[in-house]
Chain A
Amino acid sequence: MSENQTFALEVRDIVKRFPGVLANDHVNFNLRKGEVHALLGENGAGKTTLMNIIYGLYHPDEGEIFVNGRKVTIDSPHDAIRLGIGMVHQHFMLVPVFTVAENLILGAEPTKGLSLDLKAARQAVVDLSQRYGLEVEPDAIIEDLPVGVQQRVEILKALYREAKVLVLDEPTAVLTPQEVEELFVIMRQLTERGVSIIFITHKLKEVLAIADRITVMRRGRVVGTVRPQEVDEAKLAAMMVGREVVLQVEKSPAEPGEPVLQVRDLVVEDERHLIAVDHVNLEVRRGEVVGVAGVQGNGQTELAEALTGLRPIREGQMLLGGKPVPPRNPRYLIEHGMAHIPEDRQKHGLVLSYTIADNLVLCTYYKPPFARGLQRNQAAIVENAEKLVQQFDVRTPSIFTTAGSLSGGNQQKVIVAREFSRPVDLLIANQPTRGLDVGSIEYIHKRIVQMRDQGAGVLLISAELDEIMSLADRIAVMFRGKIVATVKAEEVNREQLGLLMAGSPASEVLGQPQPAA
């Protein structure tokens, strides 16, 4: 391709500053017509900032934007939409109580006189559905739809506004492997019809599978633009992080001991009093990692909350170390050897306004040496904090920095440091590396395997299939609140897990009926 060809989109020397951070540092980026161009980088690398500038949600401090060779200013999403730029955000911008048709037309409503022309809206949905092969029901209510379908609605929204440049921000975070494949097929169909796609992600495998070109960003700068044929995962990871990264954690075979966690016929309800955990049986033995695989929203959150004493158990039994646990008593669990890395580190793992030192004693503040009777022992708390921050490599100017000002990776390290600094018999880790950079992921994976090797049992709940496959000795797949299969890690491959996560019956996928864990 010649260099003189007009790019569908080009940005030159974009600079964007936020208080305390240079989010985009003289970024140059171009998008060819009809290509899938992946934008790869850690969290905080500046990818979403750049895309928000292109979509008019942010204003650049310096730099220029060109659409089809013409210089443009984009002051708001309105301008971006008019220029043919559409964006599918990582967290969907759909009104949950509206229908598909209503969400589609919002802001660009067809009218009959003064009224909304919902008939035209429905027709538009049907027409677009057929033209692009994205099946959706116009009158379905968004909050009733599965996430994969909601995503299709988001794509249709952009197509309805005749987007020629489509930005997909971490679209695969909420999809099963099969749905990711379907998305890739849709992306190819779109490029064949002249749509150019920018695909933001931090997942190396996907980028190599689908992209025509890959631009890697790190700390606000473009590190380089390559073609998938020229690189492999290790090289991309090194570009993202700036050093060599170990992608596959080293693990010796498991030597499981007696059971430390036994879950029998567990039934747990969610906020709306619907059954979220449906007669689940699980067992975790000392010295093994049991991974619970599944797409988010199939009951994993409720399961983790029930096992850590945060949600009532409606039916069934939970045994820790062979003894039944008193209901809703996290302190009992903590004092009997349970460690918990929660799913939402900012809501449930830390008190963001407290210092790191105080966060590190959140579970043990009432016991000696940190307290004597009614009095806290500040010296012991400080000593403990200094030791742990050093041991667990928490990057912070001081132990008195508030937890809220730490990066995601370091916040997670504080939680890990706190939980691992007690004697642990059972570790429940729920999405432990969500939103973390490759370096932090590497660290946490190492620590989890270390905990296992020291004789604790680990229950790892994760929506990242790679993480499960890399760490787990046994894998239980959760779908719609049930454990649909429990297998040994060596006996199953990625594709089979993907099918199970999407609901295919275990007997078909694995060729045998599944007993309880």
Chain B
Amino acid sequence: MNTPASFANWKIFWKRWGVLTVISVITLALIAYYYSKTPQITEAVLASTLRQSVPLVLGALCGLLGERAAVINIGIEGQMLLAAFLAFLVNVYTGNLLLGVLAGIAVGALLGLLLAFMSVTLKIDQIIGGTVINILAIGLTGYFYKVGLSAHGKLNPIPLGPLAKIPLIGPVFFNNPPITYATILLVFLVHYVLFYTPWGLRTRAVGEHPRAADTLGINVYLVRYVNVVIGGALAGLAGAYLSLEAVGSFERLMTNGRGFVALAVMIFGKWTPLGAWGAALLFGFATAMQTQLQFGGQLHIPHQFIGMLPYLLTIIVLAGFVGRARPPAADGIPYEKEG
């Protein structure tokens, strides 16, 4: 008996996308249910989920650009923090929000350059290099921070016309501040570049088998430098988001571990931009729920426990998933040209 072609195609589809489809359907059903019961709260939680996920996605994109080229970056936290601080400072002294954002991006890229120099040229242990950046950022921001500075304005939500009026989807997706919009676009952009362009192919080759890439005339060092610097710029953008869009001012240690959660997001998302976005939304949801439950007064669990959720998820992912998730083969190994 021959299996009809359509049935065989179903089986292939199910094997690859089965779990994801089920999860998506359940999620949509739950959203629909809660929206019908408490529309305002559902809207608020979903919008908050999206916004909480922004620094996580950007941090994960930073991490995965580097790791796809085999450079481990655990300095994302430091990059975000220093960028948040400088974006804030530049805004304070120039009054210009855009300049502040650009400053944040530049700082992130510069720290990325430092990491690349340490990892690719000096071939230092990459974990140590990342730690150096974190400590540097904490030190610099702690030392130079002065209480009482205030930013000039804040990046506010920009409603996208009629789209913003669609129930539920409108406020959640189409009424966001600029960096949030930019982040969604960046997810798709990075995905395209990584998987559909020659540059992306070469990056991935450098991460999996750098010597093979070298023998084909690809400049392994250059590819690593560029990816880490661009990644740094993204982490810088995340920092600018925190001080100029999310909060509107700077506090010491305001990144609060997001740079490390971003690493968990990256691994959870299997080093792909779209996967990282999904994982970031999940983590963002946990944080959004924490705020909601804290002020909603529904449950009688102390809100601190809910606040642990994102970090708990991080630990579980890093401890449980790392074994099964496969990073690029040459991840963390400095490349040595012979002769």
Contact = CB atoms under 8 A, between A and B. Distances in A.
Contact of A107 (B200, B211, B216, B337): B216
A141 B164 CA distance: 45
B215 A116 contact: no
A57 B196 contact: no
A97 B200 CA distance: 14
A151 to B, nearest CB: 14
Given A96-B208, A106-B205, 15 more contacts: A52-B338, A59-B339, A93-B209, A93-B215, A95-B204, A95-B213, A96-B209, A106-B213, A106-B216, A106-B218, A107-B216, A107-B217, A116-B196, A116-B197, A116-B198
Size bracket, chain B contacts: 20 to 34
B202 interface: yes
B309 to A, nearest CB: 33
Nearest to B195: A116
Closest 6 CB pairs of A and B: A58-B339, A78-B217, A107-B216, A93-B212, A109-B198, A95-B209
Contacts of A87: 215
Pick from A106, A108, A116 the residue with the most CB of B within 10 Å.
Answer: A106
B217 A77 contact: yes
Question: Majority SS of interface residues in chain A?
Answer: loop
Nearest to A76: B217
B198 A111 contact: yes
B128 to A, nearest CB: 22
Interface in B247-282: none
A479 interface: no
25 contacts: A18-B339, A52-B338, A57-B337, A57-B338, A58-B339, A59-B339, A76-B217, A78-B217, A81-B217, A87-B215, A93-B215, A95-B213, A97-B208, A106-B205, A106-B212, A106-B216, A107-B213, A107-B218, A108-B216, A109-B198, A114-B197, A115-B197, A116-B196, A116-B198, A116-B201
B18 to A, nearest CB: 21
Contacts of B202: 106-107
Interface of A: 16, 18, 49, 52, 55, 57-59, 76-78, 81, 87, 89, 92-98, 102-103, 105-109, 111, 114-116, 157
Contacts of A96: 208-209, 329
Pick from A89, A96, A116 the residue with the most CB of B within 10 Å.
Answer: A116
Contacts of A157: 216
Pick from A16, A55, A95 the residue with the most CB of B within 10 Å.
Answer: A95
Given A96-B329, A106-B205, A55 B215 contact: yes
B331 interface: no
Contacts of B216: 77, 81, 93, 106-108, 157
A95 B339 contact: no
Interface string B4-31: 0000000000000000000000000000
Contacts of A103: 212
A67 to B, nearest CB: 17
A111 B201 CA distance: 12
A77 B211 CA distance: 11
Interface of B: 196-198, 200-202, 204-205, 208-209, 211-218, 329, 337-339
Contacts of A92: 212
A52 B213 contact: no
Contact of A77 (B201, B214, B339): B214
Contacts of B329: 96-97
A65 to B, nearest CB: 15
Contacts of A93: 209, 211-212, 215-216
Contacts of B198: 109, 111, 116
A63 to B, nearest CB: 14
Given A57-B339, A109-B198, A115-B197, A89 B208 contact: no
B190 to A, nearest CB: 14
Contacts of B196: 115-116
Nearest to B337: A57
A81 B212 CA distance: 14
A98 B208 contact: yes
Contacts of A114: 197
A57 B338 CA distance: 7
Contacts of B337: 57
Pick from B196, B197, B202, B209 the residue with the most CB of A within 10 Å.
Answer: B209
A98 B339 CA distance: 28
A94 B213 CA distance: 9
A93 B218 CA distance: 13
Nearest to A161: B216
A102 B215 contact: no
A87 B214 CA distance: 12
A59 B339 CA distance: 7
Contacts of A106: 201-202, 205, 212-213, 216, 218
A248 B208 CA distance: 43
A93 B211 CA distance: 7
Contacts of B197: 111, 114-116
Contacts of B217: 76-78, 81, 107
A11 to B, nearest CB: 16
B209 A102 contact: no
A109 B215 contact: no
